[in-house]
Amino acid sequence: MCRVLAREISSHVGKAVCLEGFLHWKRDLGGIRFVLLRDRSGVVQVVVDRRFELPLAESSMRVVGRVVENPKAPGGYEVVAEDLEFYAKAVEPSPIEIPKEEWRASPETLLEYRYVSLRGEKARAPLKLQAALVRGFRSYLDAQGFTEIFTPKIVSAGAEGGSNLFGVDYFEHRAYLAQSPQLYKQIMVGVFERVYEVAPVFRAEQHATSRHLNEYLSLDVEMGFIRSEEDVMALEEELLRAMLEEARRSAEFEARLLEVEWPNTQEMPRLEHKEARRILREELGLAVGADLNEEAERALGAWAKERWGVDFLFVTKYPEAARPFYAYPEGDGLTRGFDLLFRGLEITSGGQRIHQHEVLVEQLRKKGHDPAQFAGYLEVFKYGMPPHGGFAIGAERLTQRLAGLPNVRYARAFPRDRHRLTP
Ligand code: AMO
């Protein structure tokens, strides 16, 4: 195994190095031939003489050679090959010429050939950024005494109401793919008090938009013994700071490639839903319903940026009509539920939950659900659940906004959308 990475060669000038990666690009200038080798860290130029035959791009390879300075080479250094080996030669030309097309081909082409288009440095960068965000998520919560949980993804009832569920044949029963670990993470608060989960969830959304996936990564948190939803929002603020800090530290190269503008994490103001609606109506001239639509969210995000210079905005005290049955009622038809907008895109829903059995049954009925359908869930509330609350961050949406991606699908390696089940 070779140990030097493309990004590190400047510290090996005059020395022999061994690099492994993929044949990114080749150029034949008559006398001299150049190869670009791409590895997990970046791209390096290799000078190759006529002894070696060059296969098609994307072949996997190994080069041994000496590092020299060359101001004309990308990054200012190159490797003069002494030995070249190809582990597997590409047998067909790649459907996407990565150096030229990784960002310019049509979205459908990029997604159709995702298994090669993702090899592009810029195409894979959002995934690296996301991995760093998730690492920050885990390490911050671990340090705060949270336990990572793993809840079932094949379930017998929907957590968020019955509308957007994918059905599954489960032997002689009807089952569903989990829309959210909501019910289970609440149950686990009774076990560990503080829990989190990093797992895919499934939503049978019919519409194809730039911010909806049918399978996405949900970063779920749930915490017991809270006073109100304010404790939950305060936790999310600190958590986001830690996640962004980790991304800034460990995905610095990718962030630069994507021209990430690091958001203002100093302040994340709260705006009550009622006031948000008033602003939308009276100051921004938009008609709004109980739930804020995409246009309303975008407008509010821009308003908060202009008015307060902030990138994150909590919209609090959502009306019952726009929240699921488990949201803690506050009176006046309001709940202790909130959303968090990041640059005008909803990246989180959360809030305090109902912890009293009788209130939960009442809310289920009020929402038109049959409490019998939720028997397994309700059972645990007979046994002293503490006041609790939590939230879920859509990992792809957070990545999308941070990286400035036009579509959430670029923030998932193999997106599932209304029309795509492969690759
Ligand atoms: P909600 O349904 O609002 O809340 O989802 C939480 C967050 O998940 C993301 N999200 C999506 N991302 C991509 N594609 C989708 N189709 C999609 N749907 C949702 C968003 C959203 O803010 N159980 C509650 C959370 C809680 O209260 O703890 C829930 O799932 O970023």
pLDDT digits (tens, 9 = 90+) for 10-51: 999 999 999 999 999 999 988 789 999 999 999 999 999 999
Q: Which domains does the chain have, with CATH numbers?
A: 6-88 (2.40.50.140), 115-411 (3.30.930.10)
Query: In this predicted model, what pLDDT tens digit does every residue of 76-123 receive, in sequence order?
Result: 999 999 999 999 999 999 999 998 877 778 888 999 999 999 999 999
In the chain, pLDDT over 90 holds for what percent of residues? 87
Phi-psi region of 195 (alpha: psi -120 to 50; beta: other; left: phi over 0): beta
pLDDT at 324: 92
148 annotated to a ligand binding site? no
Mean pLDDT of all residues in 215-240: 98
286 annotated to a ligand binding site? no
160 annotated to a ligand binding site? yes
Mean pLDDT of all residues in 268-278: 97
Q: Which atom of ligand 1 is nearest to the CA of 398?
A: 31
pLDDT at 159: 66
What element of type H or E holds 151? none
CA–centroid distance, residue 340 to ligand 1 (Å): 11
Query: In this predicted model, what pLDDT tens digit does every residue of 141-162 receive, in sequence order?
Result: 999 999 999 999 999 876 666 6
What element of type H or E holds 414? none
Q: Which atom of ligand 1 is nearest to the CA of 221?
A: 28
Q: Which atom of ligand 1 is nearest to the CA of 203?
A: 16
**Which residue's C-alpha comes closest to atom 19 of ligand 1?**
394
394 annotated to a ligand binding site? yes
394 CB within 6 A, ligand 1: yes
d(CA 85, CA 95): 24
212 CB within 6 A, ligand 1: yes
Render the burial of 161-175: b for 16+ CB within 10 Å, e for the rest: eeeebeeeeeeeeeb
pLDDT at 161: 63
Query: If you average pLDDT over every residue of the chain, what do you get?
Result: 95
Please list, in sequence order, all residues whose beta carbon lies within 8 angstroms of the beta carbon of residue 339, skipping any fewer than 6 positions away: 292, 314, 315, 318, 346, 348, 349, 350
pLDDT at 103: 73
392 CB within 6 A, ligand 1: yes
**Which residue's C-alpha comes closest to atom 21 of ligand 1?**
348
Residue closest to 95 by CA, chosen among 120, 111, 116, 121: 116
Please list, in sequence order, all residues whose beta carbon lies within 8 angstroms of the beta carbon of residue 145, skipping any fewer than 6 positions away: 193, 194
343 annotated to a ligand binding site? no
Mean pLDDT of all residues in 323-352: 97
In the chain, pLDDT over 70 holds for what percent of residues? 99
Residue 341 token pair: 């907008």
pLDDT at 105: 85
**Which residue's C-alpha comes closest to atom 17 of ligand 1?**
212
d(CA 382, CA 421): 42
Mean pLDDT of all residues in 292-315: 97
Mean pLDDT of all residues in 288-309: 94
Mean pLDDT of all residues in 227-253: 98
